[in-house]
Amino acid sequence: MILQIEDVLCTFCGCLCDDIRVEVDGGRIEKVRGACRLGSSKIMGHNRIKSPMIRVNGSLKETSYDEAYRKAAEILVSAKHPLLYGWASTTCEALKKGILLAEEIGGVVDTTTSVCHGPSIIGIEEKGLVGTTLGQIKNRADLIVFWGCNPSEAHPRHTLRYSSNACGRFTPDGRKGRKVLVIDVRETRTARNADRFLRIQPGTDYEIISALRMIVGGKAESLPEDIAGVSRKELIEIAEMMKGAKFGAIFFGLGLTQSRGRYKNVDNALSLVSELNSHTKFVIMAMRGHYNVTGANQVLTWSSGYPMAVDYARGAPYYNPGETSCCDLLSRRDVDAALIIASDPASNLPRGCVEALAEMPVIQIDPFENPTTLFADVVIPSAIAGIEAEGTAYRMDGLSLRLRKLVDAEYPSDVEILQAILDNVRRLRDDN
């Protein structure tokens, strides 16, 4: 029997599109409609890890779930300071279990936030965030600025659903009624579709933002003719474009957070937007990558007070990004075991951190094999959240949505796996 499922959520990027149509036949997903290439490739699915595995004499051997849970619990209980890392591509419910586990074993919970928008959060700690839900931008914005981000490749439906090309109540003409400005170091696909592209030198975002703040603040005459390779005249035009908008929105990406200046770039951009509100309405939003990285921050925040890099070794949450963040912990060799869930640090962390990780016992929970599997000691395959398991995820603007289960899974969910590990940890503790 063919089943048509409407309004499915796409669990790929932070857009968390919720208008996907999926055709299920005989418990298998046969067709995906309305999703982008990124989303459909995920929903259609591909090679899975078939069975739990444990590394024996250097190679992974298939085993039972019970044995894998037991082994995972042993690793966590015997570790002095384990790292529980990932969480961006699973449900909030999974992270809730993970936090409880970390509390009980004195571990560190960090999410992929630390290596994507972690600096944005530090910027928000400094300045606050003048934000909105995406629908407000769709309905009102007449100026969209993409700064150091490339939605054409990273968030393909963003422009149509939420930003430059979306139609709304006060923006009936969509793209035609809007100006789009792209600021980047390279001419991306997004830049090629913009009304205006400002190319800046790598690592000069801070200077450019500072100059714009001075112009917006009425101090243009104090600026030199050339600011980090951009003419003052051009920046004055851009500042006028911003002040002249009825509702402006800046979307920023890793171009700000991963380049020179890091959180200071974001801090400065947040200040610019705050100050623009003396002239007109302006908002700013981070383009979050993984579909539930925002949710990971939310859950960790209401549980611990802090959005990422939370260390429970002291019994109470301790947070100091740059000290308790995964890269720092790994490069200092300050953790001695790792549980990696729904992420792939082997591909996404610097070489030195991957080396450190490869040296310690690693538990991996993931539906799919990835380079982290190559050195994991316990591999536990899981159901895919949003396809085979229910749960909650938060869109990049902070809206929470419920993921549905579309087909039955042959695998336990992340929540079930973590609960089983937690049960084993408690049993081992009681035995000792």
Partner 1 sequence: MISGRTLAQGAGCEDKMSPLYINEVSCCYLSEEDYRALGISDGKNLLLTSPHGSAVLRAGVDKGLPQGMVFIPMGPWANMLIGTDTNGCGMPGFKGVEVEVTPTDEKVLDIRELISRGR
Partner 2 sequence: MIIKGGIVYDPANGIFGEEMDICIENGRIVEDAGGEVIDASGLLVMPGGVDAHSHIAGPKMNTGRIMRPDDSRIGTEPRTRVCRPSTGYTVPNCYAIGYRYARLGYTTAFEAATPIIEARHTHEELEEIPIIDKGALTLFGSNWTVMECVRDNDLGKLAAYVAWGLRAARGYGIKIVNPGGGEAWGFGSNVKGVHDPVPHFDVTPAQIIRALAEVNERLRLPHSIHLHFNNLGRPGNYTTAIETLELLKDIKPSRMRQVVHVAHMQFSAYGGTGWKDFESKASAIADYFNQTNHATMDLGQIIFGPATTMTADAPLEYANARIGHQKWSNHDIELEESSGVVPWVYMRKMPVNAVQWAIGLELALLTNDPWKVVMTTDHPNGGPFVNYPEIIALLMSREKREEEMKTLHEVVRSRSTLPSIERELDWSEIVIMTRAAPARILGLEDKGHLGTGADADVSIYNIKPDEIDPSKDHAKVKVGMSRAKYTIKGGAVVVRDGEIVAAPQGRTYWVDAAVPESDMDRMLLDLKEKFERYYSIRMSNYMVQDAYISNPFVVRAGVQPLREVI
Choose from partner 1, partner 2, none: what does 399 bind? Cβ within 5-8 Å by kind: partner 2
In whole angstroms, how far apart are CA 277 and each of 28, 130, 141, 179?
50, 9, 14, 18
Judging by DSSP bridges, how do beta strands 179-184 and 400-403 pair with one another? unpaired
Q: With respect to partner 2, which residue has the nearer C-beta, 196 or 404?
A: 404
Binds partner 2 by CB under 8 A, chosen from 32, 43, 283, 415: 283
- The SS3 assignment for 295 reads helix
Q: Give the whole-angstrom CA distance, residue 432 versus residue 426.
A: 10
Choose from partner 1, partner 2, none: what does 174 bind? Cβ within 5-8 Å by kind: none
- For 62, half-sphere exposure in the C-beta direction (CA atoms, 13 angstrom radius) is 3
- The SS3 assignment for 215 reads helix
Choose from partner 1, partner 2, none: what does 307 bind? Cβ within 5-8 Å by kind: partner 2
Each residue 230-269 as x (binds partner 1 by CB under 8 A) or -, in order, gives ------------------------xx-xxxx-xx------
Contact 339, 76 (CB under 8 A): yes
Q: How far is the CB of 384 from partner 1 (least distance, A)?
A: 9
218 sits in the region (left: phi over 0; alpha: psi -120 to 50; else beta) called left
CB atoms under 10 Å from CB of 186, counted, come to 9
**DSSP bridge partners of 211:** none
Each residue 77-106 as x (binds partner 2 by CB under 8 A) or -, in order, gives ---------------x---x---x--x---
Binds partner 2 by CB under 8 A, chosen from 303, 325, 343, 370: 303
Residue 294 in the binding site for partner 1 (CB under 8 A): no
Each residue 152-191 as x (binds partner 2 by CB under 8 A) or -, in order, gives ---------xx----xxxx---------------------
Residue 322 in the binding site for partner 1 (CB under 8 A): yes
Phi, psi of 344, rounded to the nearest 5 degrees: -135, 75
Q: How far is the CB of 46 from partner 2 (least distance, A)?
A: 26
Residue 122 in the binding site for partner 1 (CB under 8 A): yes
- DSSP letter string over 91-123? -HHHHHHHHHHHHHHT-EEEEGGGGTTHHHHHH
* H/E stretch holding 331: helix 326-331
Binds partner 1 by CB under 8 A, chosen from 27, 128, 202, 305: 202
Residues that bind partner 2 (CB under 8 A): 6-7, 9, 18-19, 92, 96, 100, 103, 121, 124-136, 138-140, 161-162, 167-170, 246-247, 274, 277, 280-281, 283, 297-299, 301-307, 312, 314-317, 319, 390, 392, 394, 398-402
